Amino acid sequence: MTKDDKPAPQVVPPRPGLGHLIDATGYSIAGMVRLMRETAARQELILGLAMLSLLAIFGAGAGHYVAYGVLFALMIAVEALNTAIEELTDRVSPEWSKAAKDAKDLGSLAVGLMVVCNLGFVGAVGLGLV
């Protein structure tokens, strides 16, 4: 083995019980750190804060904040899945392909629909529809 050769990473079996929960929390934090390297995710975070400000201006009730929190969390989750799709697509199809383009476009559509849902909900609160 030369100095440039690295040993293959070993698959570590999951720990049981509390150890598994601790490990899973670490993986989730690592995922959020990775997601925040994406410009779109940072823009969605800013959008989320702006929408919270609008809810305050509109005099939203506690239920509105809870509902918006769920919608916002779903938007971030869909963005994370979209980023995962893009990462895997780039890995398995580094060259251009129609299937890779379609996969990325569909992921983008999912995020776009969640953005519309978030904006629509806040707009509905502002109009007194919910």
Question: Annotated binding residue at 87?
Answer: no
Contacts of 2 (CB under 8 A, 6+ apart): none
- Count CB atoms within 10 A of the CB of residue 5: 7
Question: Annotated binding residue at 79?
Answer: yes
Question: Annotated binding residue at 124?
Answer: no
Cβ atoms of 71 and 78 closer than 8 Å: no
Question: Annotated binding residue at 60?
Answer: no
- What would the DSSP string read from start to end of 62-107? HHHHHHHHHHHHHHHHHHHHHHHHHHHHHHH--S--HHHHHHHHHH
Catalytic residue among 76, 78, 79, 82: 79
79 tagged catalytic: yes
Question: Annotated binding residue at 23?
Answer: no
Question: Annotated binding residue at 44?
Answer: yes
Binding-site residue set:
27, 38, 40-44, 79, 86, 104-105, 108
Binding-site residue set for substrate:
40-44, 79, 108
Binding-site residue set for ATP:
27, 38, 86, 104-105
Binding-site residue set for a divalent metal cation:
38, 86
Residue numbers annotated as active site? 79
